[in-house]
Amino acid sequence: MDLLPTLRMVARSVWLCMVRWSRRVVVWLGSLALLLIVLACTRVPFDMHRWLGSGAGECRTAPEAIVVLGGSGMPSGPELLRLHHAAALAVAVPAAPVYIMHPDTGATMRQMVAELVLRGVQVARIRPVPLGENTREQALVFARQWKAGQGSVAVVTAPENMYRSVHAFRKAGVAQVCGAPAWDHAMPHDFAYRHKAIGGKAWAPDVSGNIGLRYTFWNYLKLEITCLREFAAIAYYRVNGWI
């Protein structure tokens, strides 16, 4: 006879607990969203991204080897940008071999090699390494091929991945390693337009001259997510002792 009232009492307690914690979660998520929106109105996301790209040390001298870290498909924006920077560095340092670290032996690797050749890198200098499912494994694979003391190594990857990559290579035993981040560059154009001249409604807000609201704000929101993901990855690598 007491079973049903007892179950109701337990269910009510659980429900009240869930409601209480749900409210807290909503408040926390709302506060986080508000913080991200406020920060997107500042240059903090830009500075965070810049630090991730240069905080581990950028290359100041000519490297003796160039390592391109893959991870995206071909063609894709991130991969093409890395290959573009790697090719420019390879042309500037003609004696350095170019290693492509990408877990693929098929079309993607062939396209990456072809892209470097298209940009002026001799095919004899390119060394495909179709191994490494993440940055840690790529570092270990390369370290086995690059003996300590052989010379300096330039790692080419996305700026947000550079801090973790350089430290992962050092942890794997590649002591002389520096970063060559694949920065993208904004187009030198203000993109202002005449609102009414192209049929803009009189009742619609005129943002024709507000480049910050049209582009910078949204780009910084994306940068915040990119940086938050990378900081989480850095924390995970530290927990595992990989950096």
- Whether this model's pTM surpasses 0.95: no
Q: How far apart are CA 213 and CA 148, in angstroms?
A: 50
Angle, CA 134 vertex, CA 130 and CA 135 arms, to 5°: 100
Handedness of CA 102, 105, 108, 113 (dihedral sign): positive
User: Which domains are assigned to the chain?
Assistant: 54-179 (3.40.50.620)
pLDDT of res. 202:
83
Residue 162 contacts residue 52 (beta carbons within 8 Å)? yes
Retrieve residue 190's tokens.
Answer: 């203000």
Q: pLDDT averaged over the chain?
A: 89
pLDDT above 70: percentage of residues in the chain: 99
What pairs with residue 153 in β-bridges? 65, 177
Q: How far apart are CA 29 and CA 49, in angstroms?
A: 23
List, for the chain, all residue ranges whose pLDDT scores fall below the cut of 70. 1, 148-149
Quick: pLDDT tens for 203-239.
888 888 878 888 889 999 999 999 999 999 999 999 9
